[in-house]
Structure 1
Amino acid sequence: MTVYRVPATLIHQIEEELDKDENEVMLFLCRDLVPDLPAVDTRELLAALNERGRLMPNGIFYGLPLKTVAMSCRVLMVEISEGLDKKEVSSLIFLLQDYMQKMTKEKNFLGVVIDLEKLNLIASDQLDLIEDCLLSIHRVDLKKKIQKYKQECKMCGEGGGLPCTLKNWTNYGIKSLLCIMQKCPLGICLIIDCIGNDTEILENSFRTLHFEVRCHRFSSMETMKQRLHEVARQQDHKDYDCFACVLVSRGSHHSIFCTDQSFPGFSLEMVKDYFVGDSCPELRGKPKLFFIQSYIVPGNQQETTSLVEVDGDSLSIPQVADIFWSHCKVDVSILERSPSSSSYYLCCLAELLCHPRMRKRSLQDIHVVLNRRVYEWSRIHPKEQCSLSLQHTLRKKLFLSPR
């Protein structure tokens, strides 16, 4: 049987992109997988797993023995850790002082768990102590996670097979920290360019990124709705990693006019809604990327939007998850002065997404560079000022991996 090996370049890319906290999580999750390597860093860990054929091309762990109930317990501890703030961890350390000596207040929750394991006070079938402590600090929600885990483990022991939640947990690995696009094509990229100056460069760039590109120029509002509806209903999404949509049009701050050029236009919030939740179940849990260039027509009322940015400190996943929403606004007068001019935002976006060095960086980090360039452009060209904003509910760092 041929054992698959992921390329060393991918391991190097992963190592570079993990920050200190993410490295700690990786090492914690894999403590039982490489017991013969007592002191390893992330590179040694991934290399060892790769050598043993336990990494797949998409970066998840593969072929784990189902002492993976222990692995599942580690994932449970990571999930609990993500739900605790520093004050709560400090309270847990205080509550555990009767069981442990010389516990430093600076320890994080995973460090506490490791110390408890060394004293045989916690294991996959021995979680009562942590459960009681969570109850003492009034984190009933996290206590319920442990109870659910126990129930599913009991189902396993009674011959009920591996419950769905635990099946997911056994694949919890690099992909829990990063989202690395690997499929070819990566997904559908829908481009609706109602100005017509940037279609070619956008099409070439997203094809280079291995998207299946669908281009439409000069669409009316009804035609655009039809295109959105058709693409959202496609079953092909289930075979892809993500979805991308690029919109270029005149409009107001929160709507687009297409070729109709009439107020109030079509709400950008409704564009997003075609591809989330029940509207497009094949894309549930997958990144949905939106890049919008709006040429703002003055004198229109500004609608409100409900999409909010979620940072790493959020304790729960928002209802509208996995959205990346990049929106550049510039006054429509730029088109009146130069009707055939390209969007500086879109030109920079196309360049950065395809640049070999940038493709080793996460999409979030690329957008920081993009924002810096747009800001500098606006400073030098005050008559062509761009306003660029990013709102996202991504739960992982997203990479459009080079091939």
Structure 2
Amino acid sequence: MALPDQRQLQTINEIAEALCDVERRRLLFLCESLDTDNSVGSLKAMLKSKVMCYERGDLFLKELMLQLRRFDILRKVFKTSKEELERNLTCRQVLPRFRILMANIGEDLVNEDLDNVKFLLTSTLPREKVEKSKNFLDVIIELEKLDIVSPERVDFVENCLQNIGRLDLAKKVTAYKMSVVTSEQHSSQQQKCRAPRPFPPSNSCHPLQQTRRGQSPHSATGIIPAPVYREQNCQSHLDCYKFNTNPRGVCVIIDCVGNDGDADVFWSHCWTDECQLEQGHHRSIYLKALTDALHKGQRRKTHLVAVHTEVNGAIFEHNKRNPGANYHIDLKHTLRKDLYLQ
């Protein structure tokens, strides 16, 4: 989506300034950020980049407040109640279930539990990493970095909780794990009974609009449309698109026109100063982040908007570390359903 409007910016400022240090740390985790800087300024910048990725940015912010149990902010800033928001989120939850589960487990662990978990990890994580982990979410982030834990792999967490005697929490992980398996089986069955209908590529591809003076977009001269399939209804409750990928260039235009004649657009555009591109050693941070996120999203069955959220985070981190070599990113979409890579 486009940049947050003035009202959303004001809302983000009010949220960031109202949260304590622990709440800001938990919010960063829920937003899939690995940033250790949980200052108010850093949180504001992160939330701005996240809101850009959602057509309904307000709903994203409201769900964050719900998970933080800041019902006072829901009432004061968003003029809604916990009960009303929960009804609205019944079929359109935004935040990843895995991160919600881990954050809730972290809330339920007492200090003794955390010490026992850290003791179990002495042979898995470097000692300094274990000592620097102040809470359960810090531990999960370190395990994620080693690819030991992910939304699809929670056995390690389940075993840890069983070993420290927190069988109540281990059962929650087991239930989550079973729901992931059920979802994958449902998706597999859905693919077997669907009837994909390829749409011919458009006769013409619209080039990128004229960019700012002295800046160059990350796009190739030749733009090759990729075949896209829209999911036929197969008695499925999953509200999503699926499409097959055939990437053959730096820039791919996806022309997705449904049976109802409405076009759904997902547009990601990144640009940087031309002087950067002219450097012989230059390697595009955007293309690297996009490639990594797409591969990971395909493997983990993550929908495309969430994939691009990770790209936004990588660009944000790069810009913070390299203020003189900034990238600018713009995301727009009109997706009404989730879109998954196959």
TM interval, shorter chain, is: 0.3 to 0.5
Normalising to structure 2: TM-score of the pair?
A: 0.40
Higher helix fraction: Structure 1 or Structure 2?
Answer: 2
